[in-house]
Amino acid sequence: MAIEYRITLDDNHQFSYRIELNREYDAAEAQQAPAWTRLEHQQCSNCPLSRDQFSHCPAAVDLHRVIEDFRGLPAFKKASVWVRTPEREYTKHVGLEEGLRALLGVIMATSACPVLARLKPMAQHHLPFANNQEFILRAVSLYLTRQYFNMREGRLADWELKGLVRLFQQLKLVNQAFWQRIHDTCEGDSNLKAFLTFFSMSSSMTVSLETQLQKIRPLVMSAGDSFE
């Protein structure tokens, strides 16, 4: 199962990527990656990995090709982004910031990083170019579905979303560290701004979950009593 991205700049320069959703950390490949991908370089404060087993950060190794492809390009540069998932295709003419945010997000969520891997269900139903409302609705929906199955299978269900807030608190730490990793190696601002917007979307879940829920309440409640 894979997701394909093709980013074509206005000058027709093209970049193509194929993201296998079920992949493992490749130690031999990691040794060929640049120095900024090493585990100890700007390592996340909540990283659970041991340097004895992982010489490099799994997510950084997966990301380095994209980072290096776009490191000198400005975020406002326009591009046509084509995405193919197993179910459908998407095309949008966007600034690099938006296109890279979608690409970086799916790569990170399917990496061997134990923290980021908790986003894999969202990556398996990838929605490129999602706005903040869509991001929140999908995250909350998937989390509550998991709680429903926990209840049915005799496990404790978290209907108050406390675990979701804790997850995004952990992701916030990862995003902050990655922003610094990329800041250390980037010449342009496209990657930095892509990470900044990805960071702000996930951070919104930790600042005030109730505020975010109230933003999507009209959408969820618009069906009235039809689901009762």
Angle of helix 162-185 relative to helix 190-207, nearest 10 degrees? 160
Task: Give the integer Cα–Cα distance in Å for 95 and 116.
Answer: 25
Domain ranges of the chain: 2-218
Task: Give the closest residue to 81 by CA, choosing from 102, 108, 99, 54.
Answer: 99
pTM of the model: 0.87
Contact call for residues 131 and 105 (beta carbons, < 8 A): no
Task: Give the integer Cα–Cα distance in Å for 188 and 151.
Answer: 48
Query: Could you read off the pLDDT of 5-30 as tens digits, one per residue?
Result: 999 998 889 999 999 999 999 888 99
What's the pLDDT score for residue 197? 66
At position 184, the amino acid (one-letter code) is: D
Task: Give the closest residue to 190 by CA, choosing from 58, 94, 62, 90.
Answer: 94
Task: Give the integer Cα–Cα distance in Å for 116 and 118.
Answer: 5
Query: Could you read off the pLDDT of 55-99 as tens digits, one per residue?
Result: 999 999 999 999 888 877 777 789 999 999 999 999 999 988 888
